[in-house]
Amino acid sequence: DEALARREALRFSRFEHPRQQYFATAIYMALDDHRRVLEIMTSPRTRLLNDYGLMPHTNRLGQTITPAVFRMDLFGEFNFGFFEGFSFAPRANVYVEFMAASAFALDGQDEEAYRRFSYLIDHVGPGAFRDVLWMSYYQRGLLREKRGDAGGAISDYRRAIELVEGIRSTIRSETGRVGFVGDKFSVYDHLIGLLLEKQAFGEALEVVERSKGRALVDMLSARSSFAVSAADQAEAPRLLERMVE
């Protein structure tokens, strides 16, 4: 219910604590209200982006300020110490920065969005934040394509696909793998389109086969109606994987 979501977002936005402010921006982002996201992020009252983003910023005195670490401990499981003054909670600054970059992109502030996506790519490792990293490559690729930098866009789309397929390979459930890749074919589509414009038909065909083959492997792996002998059950997934190599 959109009305309920907006009421909850408004309620969270009235708090001073950054966690509630973050919840508010996350709800507004889900509602495609990027202008409200930017209002909260850049508000002098909350200073969510300046204080808890990822990029350093310059204050009025010309000093470079590094944002404080923003720990997102949703379940109260990470704090330790007598006064619970220490935390191993994930560093949520990455998500604040990514949401801000995405909102700037949606608002048409391409240069600011490009700067922030590039900072994420340069400073976020491919370990715990691979979800943010592949989306940052994809979004920067869109911005590069928009400004006419086809080569840069192709490079970013390729890297995004590598990350998506890397994440997919770690998902044990066949159903989970199908669901994970299902909404990410737009990355393949953009890459194929640029390769066709370059008349790199062979490379474009490889990407087409790779995207279709990957989906086929996932769907076939999820089926339980194949007449496969017990001796061949272990070999079947490997044979399916070889279909897209």
| Cα dihedral across residues 23, 131, 212, 216: positive or negative | negative
CA distance 136 to 114: 9
> Residue 110 corresponds to which amino acid?
D
Whole-prediction pTM value? 0.78
CA distance 161 to 168: 10
The CA-CA-CA angle for residues 82, 83, 85, to 5°, reads 110
Closest CA to 116 of 162, 204, 50, 17: 50
The predicted pLDDT at position 14 comes to: 93
Q: What is the pLDDT along the chain (245 residues), one digit of tens a residue?
A: 899 999 999 999 999 888 899 999 999 999 999 999 999 999 988 889 998 898 888 878 888 888 877 766 544 444 444 444 444 445 788 899 999 999 999 999 999 999 999 999 998 877 778 889 999 999 999 999 999 999 999 999 999 999 988 887 776 666 666 555 666 788 988 999 999 999 998 898 888 887 765 554 444 344 444 444 444 445 544 544 454 44
Longest dimension (CA), the chain: 73
The predicted pLDDT at position 82 comes to: 45
70 Rama class: left (phi>0) / alpha (psi -120 to 50) / beta: beta
> Residue 49 corresponds to which amino acid?
L
